[in-house]
Amino acid sequence: MSNAFTISVQPRQAFGSANSRRLRRGGSVPAVLYGAGEPNLNLSMDYDSAEKLFGHSGVVELKIDGQGKRSAITKEIANHPISGKILHVDFLAVKADEPVILPVPVISEGTAVGEKSGGQLEQILREIEVECLPANVPDAIRVDVSALELDESLLIADLQLGEGVTAVGDPEQTVFQVRMSRVADVDEESEEEAEGGEEESQAASEAGDEA
């Protein structure tokens, strides 16, 4: 289930904003590894490696120059508010035998039956938090929505998360639902208004004839 991959990082001895800016100008990204009862470790990595972390929810094997490998998950990626460039990465160290809690993206598969009846599939949650061992972290939770009828919902409790993976939070929270689309609602309202207008015109015409 886990889609762990390895990236190379280097220990970072110089700290502070000036050093971080110097690293970024040189095509690197400052990072920090913390947790698992170990001292914080300041790191740097090349920008291309940092970009690979986007959309990755599994375990990352950090190959630390001169220090071997450490398992971690990406806790936070800080981006520049205007350019969107990666400024800093936080890694949370994990141990193979200790469960972790982290968000995992939810992806729909198939076309809901209710969509063929004028409904629209709505995704309420784009990700959910799960708890599992690092080796069992899924890259995504894929949900078959094809059986969903109009006005039906799929809850967190309905999801198949895989062996050793449990959802954290309210199991009754809605993930997907099929509702009548706004276009269909507007068309139906317009048709009802038109029918009402015809009835009023006919009534007025009949009243005029009687007069």
CA distance 199 to 192: 11
Predicted confidence at residue 42, as pLDDT, reads 94
For the stretch 25-45, pLDDT in tens is 999 999 999 998 889 999 999
Integer-rounded Cα radius of gyration of the chain: 27
Predicted confidence at residue 105, as pLDDT, reads 92
For the stretch 102-144, pLDDT in tens is 889 999 999 999 999 899 999 999 999 999 998 898 889 999 9
pLDDT at 82 over 50: yes
Q: Is residue 61 very low, low, confident or very high in pLDDT (cuts 50, 70, 90)?
A: very high
Please provide residue 108's backbone torsions phi and psi, each rounded to the nearest 5 degrees: -85, 150
CA distance 144 to 154: 10
Domains with residue ranges and CATH for the chain = 5-96 (2.40.240.10), 101-183 (2.170.120.20)
Nearest Cα to Cα of residue 97 among 62, 57, 133: 133
> Where on the phi/psi map is residue 8: left (φ > 0), alpha (ψ -120 to 50), or beta?
beta
Q: Is residue 198 very low, low, confident or very high in pLDDT (cuts 50, 70, 90)?
A: low
> Where on the phi/psi map is residue 169: left (φ > 0), alpha (ψ -120 to 50), or beta?
left
**Sheet architecture: strand order including 100-109:** 141-144, 100-109, 127-132, 166-167
Predicted confidence at residue 1, as pLDDT, reads 45
Q: At 160, is the secondary structure helix, strand, or coil? A: coil
User: What one-character DSSP code corresponds to residue 15?
Assistant: -
Predicted confidence at residue 193, as pLDDT, reads 61
From residue 133, how far is each of 58, 129, 130 by CA, in Å?
11, 13, 10
Contact 93, 68 (CB under 8 A): no
Q: Is residue 18 very low, low, confident or very high in pLDDT (cuts 50, 70, 90)?
A: confident
For the stretch 153-197, pLDDT in tens is 999 999 999 889 999 989 999 999 999 976 555 555 555 565 655
